A and B are shown apart, each in its own frame.
Chain A
Amino acid sequence: MDLYAVAQHYLDRILEKDSSDNIRVLLLDKTTSAVISMVTTQSELLKKDVFLVDKLDNFQRDSLRNLSCICFLEPSMETIANLSREIANPNYQKYDLFFNNSVSNSKLERLAESDDLETISKVVEIFMDYLVVNKAFFVVPNVVSPYGPLVRDSWDQAAFDQSLQSVMSLLLSLKYKPVIRYETNSKMCAKLANAVNFEINSNQMLFGQLPLRDSPPSLLILDRKNDPITPLLFPWTYQAMIHELLGIHNNTVNMSRVHNISEELKEVVVNEQTDQFYKESMYLNFGDLSESLKRFIETYKAKTKTSSNISTITDMKFFLENYPEFKKTSINLSKHMLLSTEIDKKINELRLWEVGELQQSLATNDNSSGDLAELEDLLFDRKLQNGAPAAPLSEDTKLKLLAVYALRYESHPSNQLSRLTRQLHQLGFPSHKLDLIKHLLQTSGTSQRLHDDGESIFEKVSNSTMGGTVNGISFKNNTDGNVYMQHSPRLKQVLMKLFKNKLNTKNYALLKPNGLEAYAGNDKIPDQELVIFIVGGVTYEEARLVAELNQLNPGLKIVIGGTHILDSDTFIGLK
């Protein structure tokens, strides 16, 4: 599965040159600038003769009527208003309009109204209303929280519209006309699923043109509340750690808070498409990452060594010719060095080695007394390190530990949550933070979650009896005894059942859009094309699971996405 390939097709279409040889200007808006920045670079654009990239709502632009203009915009009311203002008094010679989703006829009329000078030469709808994060990982743009302000299991209207648009555009961009499965215990999933179904049925004109497939693709809509554990646990793989500890925003990491940072590393880009090292190591755990970084340094050294002792003219020539490449590699190397040292610093600062181990043990083992003692030691800072009391844990870390405990032992008879909360409160732990746990239990406690047969969110990788291969589809087995990566997301179990066609229709309703009524899952042939959408946020950990599945199974194409990307802080409500 490769969303980058799809994006590249679209880019080619947008940047396609017509007969007139001209310098071109690219106008974007808030959404599309994010969309395009995730899939291409400034220099790529420059190669295609796009010399100027600007925002449509920048009204300070100069009139350059000798240039042609490409607009890649979202068809929102605001953008259309700005655009008609632009073409009524055109700054450029002609306009090729590309919208990242369907444009209604009334909006077209409005544009035609203002186009007295006949400057619009092209109007094309392409379907790229989503951000490509990884090869098989997309996210809805501009959603901070999908939840409505009043009731938790309800949508914020704007977020809902945007999510629906994103899902529809993703389906169209992949030319999918899917059957839809959703978790019945969630109203949000049901609303989205029905809306998607309705849109497909009312846009038969578009969906009817799509090529037939051997079996229809599936759209699986899940709700975060059914798996509250995965976003709480500290992830130990590279990409996920960068996000958890440093924060990835539209593929960029802001490093300006680091002391004495050089100008070019203040904001670093982490993109699978342009960064070979990142592509190879984004799913590695911390141990493997340092190994691979070491190798990277060694190859770099070996490369530069040959040119460091410049004695002859040919050496000099060789060095000069390869200088741009060296420079690129060295910047890349220092970028990853910086990221991993910062991660390391943070891990030690937050004492994540101990905390992570306890988190995993809490989440996977049924050992209430031992874990409780350990938890109390950490919560009340009783632990000794080299004979002296260790530095106290940060409040947020404690809170997350307590949250894992609260979820794990919610219905356990010897649940000590209320005692722990009371004690913490007496020690001066802010009560608004403790309330977050109450809130978490209300929204995704055991009564709120879906209990499909034999399913538990506290699943251990090595314990899962079904591991390995399911109906011809291999899952990666991390049974190398890594104590920090024992837990596997619930998504894995759901997928295993899906591939066996064993999803309980009571818990996972199936919607068949017009024309797909004949579909009745075949238990011999698992679904081959699948789009997963997690309402309430998706984690990098789940994206990794999907990436591994895609890599291990060439006959399988899965894309995963969500309303937004979670880290533990945003999930629990600290941010």
Chain B
Amino acid sequence: MSKRRILGASDTGLNGNASMDELNPSSLSSSQSSLHSSSLAGPDILECPICTESMVTVNQLNRHLDDEHAVSSFGSSETNLQIELDFKQWFKKTLATKADDVVGKSLYQNSPKQLRAATQDSCLNDGNSDDETQKLAFENSSVITRNHWQKPSGSDICCYNSCAKRLNGKNGMVNCRKCGRLFCGYHSRFHIKLNSSLQSDPLNGYWSRCCQECFFSYKAGWDLAKTENCAFFTDKTSNLKNIRSKKLNSVKLETVALENRCIKLVGVLKDIEKNNIPARSLRSIERNLADWVDDAGVDNCSICKTEFNFWNRKHHCRICGQVVCGDISRGCSMDVPANIVVDIMNIDQEVKLEKLQDSRWSIRMCLNCKQKLFNKRIYLQNVYSDSQAELLQYYRQVKALEDKFEKSTQSSDKAVELRNIDLLGRMEKIGKLVSNIVNSLEYVLEQNQSKQGLVSVKPDEVKLYKALKLHIVMFLQDNLPGLRRAQQEKLKKEQTELEQQTGANSHRPRLLKKEIREYREKLMVLNEQKFMVQNLYNDYKKRKKFDDLISLEANLEDLQREIDIIEERLGDSAFQ
């Protein structure tokens, strides 16, 4: 660890193993220009040559340099030397003029003119410092280290997988700045921004040449196969839920009040049935319960705004007390049979209401109250009861089978194939059932069109059954051939294994000496026979007795086969 001091203890900082890896000409010149401008702008503030942080005293700057910019040294000595020189120059020009009286003294007292002159001087000396910074920002050899570079050996080939080009003047020979390996010109024509620790850094990095592999694996936001690099989305569920809950809270309070009234009303009816309350007091109880609106001042229905007259009578909603008309076609209010109310209210009630014995009881409700009380309950009931539908049961069976199938294909068990065949068989059965249903439903649908609705069949449900059927067919198509193939392969494998095993078995128990002798004798006899037959064969051939040749040929083959078998059995011990 060395120190990079501006003043004081300068021998360790500037003459020792300076570690100027972060200190490069570009940042130097930029700091110079910024120093320049700041000194022009106003009070002379000393700036760090590396990070241009402003300092008040030289002491502070020294401390800052020690703390912030003392990094262990690496990098080629050549460039470091250059930087060192630059640094020394800068140091001399900006501060050495004041070195005499600066130590421990505040810089506030220095004359700004002198400092300005010094910095201007240095700028002139630098020449086109701006151009230089631009060029150096492209690829900065002192920041992007070259230590990891692969040294050319004279007979290198391109490190890219499938390339293997010889690296020479024609094909190019370039080190990837990131991984350091050598590549041909074609496979190193990419550029990414790297920082001093050789990581991709779009913000502060320097453009550096790199190879194809590094380009695709390190370039920020490049690979679209990764979700994080594309397919931007925003989730607004919470926004909606906030808005909804605000609105629903007030509605819910209201609904609870209405519910309570409704339950009470049913209770009253029950009491009347049980003769606890006289029937004639019903009207007054209803009136009190719902706080009826005075109908004298109401001329129009509060929902449809139709004017009331002799035919269009006024009615009070027993739940909310509003005055509404009783027109059936508009549905502003209607007498709902009390037992239906009980049924619907019971859907999500913990304490179930009792049913009334007389089914003629009814409660007049306006449209609004009816919707508030019933809609949610009917929805819940539908969701529940429909979830028991036949279609879904088939679907669940299919899914369960698919799951099982997937699991068992993953595990490499021996019994798997048998089980899978069984699963596929079951799947096929369900498929047949479903296709039967499809047919029957389609038939019903056709009939309905001609006869106007006998049984209610939803066309969408038929579509769903069809889709399920297709789903099953697709699954079977996807898996059947693969499975069959796997089966065949397995069979083959087993056969070969069996053969190998039998072959191995005959080898393994070592042949007894006696057996060996016997086999050898047999072999000799066979060879002799073969020899004779061969002679015979040649003889016949000469004499052109082609009829006999065929049988002889077969004979020869048989002999050869037997010889082969015995030789195989004997193995190595056939020869002494």
Instruction: Report the minimum CB–CB distance from B166 to chain A (whole Å).
Output: 21
Instruction: Report the minimum CB–CB distance from B111 to chain A (whole Å).
Output: 36
Determine whether A64 belongs to the interface, using a CB cutoff of 8 Å to chain B: yes
Q: How far is the CA of A143 from the CA of B237 in the complex (A)?
A: 31
Are the C-beta atoms of A5 and B225 separated by less than 8 Å?
Answer: yes
Convert A192-228 into 0s and 1s, putting 1 for each residue whose CB lies closer than 8 angstroms to a CB of B.
0000000000000010011111100000000000000
Convert B341-377 into 0s and 1s, putting 1 for each residue whose CB lies closer than 8 angstroms to a CB of A.
0000000000000000000000000000000000110
Instruction: Report the minimum CB–CB distance from B485 to chain A (whole Å).
Output: 7
Q: How far is the CA of A108 from the CA of B57 in the complex (A)?
A: 59
Are the C-beta atoms of A206 and B220 separated by less than 8 Å?
Answer: no
Closest to A472 in B: B189
Convert B217-229 into 0s and 1s, putting 1 for each residue whose CB lies closer than 8 angstroms to a CB of A.
0011110110111
Instruction: Report the minimum CB–CB distance from B235 to chain A (whole Å).
Output: 5
Are the C-beta atoms of B215 and A214 separated by less than 8 Å?
Answer: no
Convert B166-199 into 0s and 1s, putting 1 for each residue whose CB lies closer than 8 angstroms to a CB of A.
0000000000000000000000011111000000
Are the C-beta atoms of B239 and A123 separated by less than 8 Å?
Answer: yes
Determine whether B467 belongs to the interface, using a CB cutoff of 8 Å to chain A: yes
Query: How many chain A residues touch B (Cβ–Cβ < 8 Å)?
Result: 70
B residues 369-401 near A (Cβ < 8 Å) are 375-376, 379, 382-383, 386-387, 389, 391-392, 395-396, 399
Determine whether A47 belongs to the interface, using a CB cutoff of 8 Å to chain B: yes
Are the C-beta atoms of B219 and A214 separated by less than 8 Å?
Answer: yes
Determine whether B305 belongs to the interface, using a CB cutoff of 8 Å to chain A: no
Q: Which of B220, B240, B386 has the most CB of A within 10 A?
A: B240
Are the C-beta atoms of B481 and A321 separated by less than 8 Å?
Answer: yes
From A23, A90, A122, contact of B237 by CB (8 A): A122
Determine whether A430 belongs to the interface, using a CB cutoff of 8 Å to chain B: no
From B192, B221, B391, contact of A212 by CB (8 A): B221
Are the C-beta atoms of B220 and A212 separated by less than 8 Å?
Answer: yes
Are the C-beta atoms of B212 and A554 separated by less than 8 Å?
Answer: yes
Determine whether A384 belongs to the interface, using a CB cutoff of 8 Å to chain B: no
Instruction: Report the minimum CB–CB distance from A303 to chain B (whole Å).
Output: 15
Q: How far is the CA of A122 from the CA of B237 in the complex (A)?
A: 5
Are the C-beta atoms of A52 and B190 separated by less than 8 Å?
Answer: no
Residues of chain B within 8 A of A439, CB atoms compared? none
Residues of chain B within 8 A of A67, CB atoms compared? 464
Are the C-beta atoms of A125 and B236 separated by less than 8 Å?
Answer: yes
Determine whether A118 belongs to the interface, using a CB cutoff of 8 Å to chain B: yes
Q: Which of B189, B458, B460, B484 has the most CB of A within 10 A?
A: B460
Convert A441-459 into 0s and 1s, putting 1 for each residue whose CB lies closer than 8 angstroms to a CB of B.
0000000000000000000
Closest to B236 in A: A123
Residues of chain B within 8 A of A554, CB atoms compared? 212, 215-216
Residues of chain A within 8 A of B234, CB atoms compared? 102, 124-125, 206
Determine whether B311 belongs to the interface, using a CB cutoff of 8 Å to chain A: no
Determine whether B326 belongs to the interface, using a CB cutoff of 8 Å to chain A: no
Determine whether B310 belongs to the interface, using a CB cutoff of 8 Å to chain A: no
Are the C-beta atoms of B464 and A23 separated by less than 8 Å?
Answer: yes
Are the C-beta atoms of A9 and B230 separated by less than 8 Å?
Answer: yes
B residues 429-443 near A (Cβ < 8 Å) are none
Residues of chain A within 8 A of B480, CB atoms compared? 321
Closest to A108 in B: B240
From B191, B216, B231, B235, contact of A9 by CB (8 A): B231
Are the C-beta atoms of A214 and B205 separated by less than 8 Å?
Answer: yes
Determine whether B253 belongs to the interface, using a CB cutoff of 8 Å to chain A: no
Are the C-beta atoms of A116 and B203 separated by less than 8 Å?
Answer: no
Q: How far is the CA of A472 from the CA of B207 in the complex (A)?
A: 15
Instruction: Report the minimum CB–CB distance from A93 to chain B (whole Å).
Output: 5
Are the C-beta atoms of B236 and A112 separated by less than 8 Å?
Answer: no
Q: How far is the CA of A522 from the CA of B216 in the complex (A)?
A: 21
Determine whether B575 belongs to the interface, using a CB cutoff of 8 Å to chain A: no
Instruction: Report the minimum CB–CB distance from A324 to chain B (whole Å).
Output: 5
A residues 107-127 near B (Cβ < 8 Å) are 108-109, 111-113, 115-127
Instruction: Report the minimum CB–CB distance from B119 to chain A (whole Å).
Output: 25
Q: How far is the CA of A557 from the CA of B221 in the complex (A)?
A: 12
Instruction: Report the minimum CB–CB distance from B471 to chain A (whole Å).
Output: 5
Are the C-beta atoms of A93 and B383 separated by less than 8 Å?
Answer: yes
Determine whether A468 belongs to the interface, using a CB cutoff of 8 Å to chain B: no
Question: With contacts defined as CB atoms under 8 Å apart, how many contacts are there between chain A and chain B in the complex?
Answer: 177
Among the 9-residue stretches B8-16, B27-35, B243-251, B496-504, the one with 4 or more Cβ atoms under 8 Å from chain A is: B243-251
Are the C-beta atoms of A65 and B235 separated by less than 8 Å?
Answer: no
Q: How far is the CA of A113 from the CA of B243 in the complex (A)?
A: 8
Are the C-beta atoms of B240 and A65 separated by less than 8 Å?
Answer: no
Query: How many chain B residues touch A (Cβ–Cβ < 8 Å)?
Result: 67
Are the C-beta atoms of A108 and B481 separated by less than 8 Å?
Answer: no
Closest to B216 in A: A554
Determine whether A351 belongs to the interface, using a CB cutoff of 8 Å to chain B: no
A residues 1-17 near B (Cβ < 8 Å) are 1-2, 5-6, 9-10, 13
Are the C-beta atoms of B207 and A525 separated by less than 8 Å?
Answer: yes
Are the C-beta atoms of B235 and A46 separated by less than 8 Å?
Answer: no
Residues of chain A within 8 A of B191, CB atoms compared? 214, 524-525, 528, 555
Given A2-B224, A175-B232, A525-B207, residue A214 in contact with residue B247 (CB < 8 A): no
Closest to B392 in A: A66
From B225, B237, B464, B485, contact of A124 by CB (8 A): B237
Q: How far is the CA of A572 from the CA of B480 in the complex (A)?
A: 54
Given A123-B237, A324-B477, residue A175 in contact with residue B221 (CB < 8 A): yes
B residues 459-478 near A (Cβ < 8 Å) are 459-461, 463-464, 467-468, 470-471, 474, 477
Q: How far is the CA of A568 from the CA of B203 in the complex (A)?
A: 46
Given A120-B240, A213-B202, A321-B484, residue A9 in contact with residue B227 (CB < 8 A): yes
Closest to A127 in B: B232
Residues of chain A within 8 A of B484, CB atoms compared? 317, 321
Determine whether B531 belongs to the interface, using a CB cutoff of 8 Å to chain A: no
Q: How far is the CA of A448 from the CA of B157 in the complex (A)?
A: 54
Determine whether A105 belongs to the interface, using a CB cutoff of 8 Å to chain B: yes
Determine whether A322 belongs to the interface, using a CB cutoff of 8 Å to chain B: yes
Are the C-beta atoms of A116 and B236 separated by less than 8 Å?
Answer: no
Determine whether A103 belongs to the interface, using a CB cutoff of 8 Å to chain B: yes
Instruction: Report the minimum CB–CB distance from B131 to chain A (whole Å).
Output: 13
Are the C-beta atoms of A522 and B138 separated by less than 8 Å?
Answer: yes
Are the C-beta atoms of A173 and B231 separated by less than 8 Å?
Answer: yes
Are the C-beta atoms of B192 and A214 separated by less than 8 Å?
Answer: yes
Q: How far is the CA of A172 from the CA of B251 in the complex (A)?
A: 38
Q: How far is the CA of A212 from the CA of B204 in the complex (A)?
A: 11
Are the C-beta atoms of A109 and B458 separated by less than 8 Å?
Answer: no
Are the C-beta atoms of A126 and B233 separated by less than 8 Å?
Answer: yes
Determine whether A63 belongs to the interface, using a CB cutoff of 8 Å to chain B: yes
Residues of chain B within 8 A of A331, CB atoms compared? none
Are the C-beta atoms of A90 and B379 separated by less than 8 Å?
Answer: yes
From B224, B228, B243, B247, contact of A6 by CB (8 A): B224
Q: How far is the CA of A52 from the CA of B375 in the complex (A)?
A: 25
Residues of chain B within 8 A of A18, CB atoms compared? none
Are the C-beta atoms of A112 and B221 separated by less than 8 Å?
Answer: no
From B207, B215, B239, contact of A555 by CB (8 A): B215
Instruction: Report the minimum CB–CB distance from A523 to chain B (whole Å).
Output: 10
Closest to B242 in A: A112
Closest to A120 in B: B240
Determine whether A21 belongs to the interface, using a CB cutoff of 8 Å to chain B: yes
Determine whether A174 belongs to the interface, using a CB cutoff of 8 Å to chain B: yes
For the complex of A and B, the 8 pairs showing the least CB-CB separation, nearest first, are A66-B386, A9-B231, A51-B467, A62-B458, A321-B481, A212-B202, A65-B382, A211-B221
Binding site for A on B (CB under 8 A): 138, 189-193, 200, 202-203, 205, 207, 212, 215-216, 219-222, 224-225, 227-237, 239-240, 243-244, 247-248, 251, 375-376, 379, 382-383, 386-387, 389, 391-392, 395-396, 399, 458-461, 463-464, 467-468, 470-471, 474, 477, 480-481, 484-485
Q: List 12 A-B contacts (CB under 8 A).
A: A5-B225, A62-B458, A64-B464, A66-B383, A90-B379, A120-B244, A124-B236, A127-B233, A209-B232, A211-B221, A555-B189, A555-B215
| Given A23-B464, A46-B471, 20 other A-B residues pairs in contact with their CB atoms under 8 A | A6-B224, A6-B230, A46-B470, A52-B463, A52-B464, A62-B458, A63-B382, A66-B392, A90-B379, A112-B240, A116-B376, A123-B236, A124-B233, A174-B230, A210-B232, A211-B221, A212-B220, A214-B219, A321-B480, A524-B191
